[in-house]
């Protein structure tokens, strides 16, 4: 599946995936092919993209150029809210699979709650259930869903989401949501796992603090001879989460995968847990979607 040292996680329907994936959020299409090719070359076997990223086609091209056996690769993508609705989401699958060049997708999830369109969100998830039943996708889930919305979704549908991809890093670790996931058998999947949202250009306020510069994380990194990013990814692995780091720099792509030959102590894990501020760095999940957010996803 991936580097044998990278642990694998098992979804509640038996589908397995590497605990570390490779993300392409904000990666321009003209840089995506090279980044994904490099990720596959160094050992990543889980690639995470989304219709809204505008680079599914390039992810597919990188996969085609690689020598990785399709059976060893987990490909995950997301349906954008403008394609919510039963028939619309079935068509969104067709668009995504055509761009990726794959007849079957490993993981297909809903990208946002879209609070003012939640009836359409439920219908979209029912379409995912159909795709799952027909074998066109192997696992389904959601992204950025808080506990109340997960509860609504579970009550209205048949298949408990296999995973929920959410903002999760040392400054925003969402312990209550993680507890709910464990109770329901939902895998917690972290976007911004090294706190990228705390240092991405254009995100956050002037008083934001970068996780990469956090003294506690820095002290733990120095003790292990590692980088702060590696320490944060190790924190995710040891606590059983799926984490999706991203980079277009070859050295960092490899560095983010090299986190299997050291172990954080219980005290170090607790020290990182204690950094949680309870304040997200990303968009508010419970927000309405207007015409600006409901931009059309191009056809394949």
Query: Which residues carry out catalysis?
Result: 53
Concatenating the DSSP letter of every residue in 139-191 gives EEEEES--HHHHHHHHHHSSSPPSEEEEE-BTTB--HHHHHHHHHHTPEEEEE
- Give the closest residue to 37 by CA, choosing from 252, 257, 248, 244: 248
Terminal alpha carbon distance of the chain: 28
Length of the chain: 300
Alpha-carbon dihedral 285, 170, 140, 45, rounded to 10 degrees = 140
Coil, strand or helix at 46: strand
DSSP code, position 20? B
């Amino acid at each position: 599946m991936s580097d044998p040292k990278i642990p694998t996680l098992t979804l509640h329907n038996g589908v397995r995936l590497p605990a570390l994936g490779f993300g392409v959020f904000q990666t321009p299409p003209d840089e995506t092919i090279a980044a994904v090719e490099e990720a596959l070359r160094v050992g990543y076997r889980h690639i995470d993209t989304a219709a809204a990223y505008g680079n599914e086609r390039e992810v597919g091209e990188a996969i085609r150029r690689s020598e990785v056996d399709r059976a060893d690769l987990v490909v995950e993508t997301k349906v954008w809210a403008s394609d919510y609705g039963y028939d619309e989401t079935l068509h969104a699958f067709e668009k995504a699979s055509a761009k990726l060049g794959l007849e079957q997708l490993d993981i297909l999830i809903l990208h946002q709650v879209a609070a003012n369109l939640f009836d359409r969100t439920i219908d979209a998830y029912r379409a995912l259930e159909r795709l799952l039943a027909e074998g066109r996708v192997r696992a389904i889930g959601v992204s950025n869903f808080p506990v109340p919305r997960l509860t609504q979704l579970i009550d209205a549908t048949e298949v408990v989401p296999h995973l929920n991809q959410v903002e999760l890093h040392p400054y925003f670790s969402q312990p209550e949501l993680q507890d709910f996931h464990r109770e329901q058998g939902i895998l917690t999947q972290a976007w911004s796992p090294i706190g990228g949202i705390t240092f991405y250009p254009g995100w956050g306020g002037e008083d934001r603090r970068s996780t990469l510069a956090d003294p506690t994380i820095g002290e733990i990194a120095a003790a292990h001879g590692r980088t702060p990013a590696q320490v944060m990814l190790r924190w995710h692995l040891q606590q059983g989460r799926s984490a999706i780091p991203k980079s277009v720099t070859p050295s960092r792509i490899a560095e983010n995968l090299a986190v299997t030959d050291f172990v954080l102590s219980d005290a170090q894990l607790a020290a990182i847990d204690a950094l949680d501020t309870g304040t997200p760095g990303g968009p508010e999940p419970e927000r309405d979607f207007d015409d600006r957010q409901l931009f059309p996803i191009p056809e394949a």
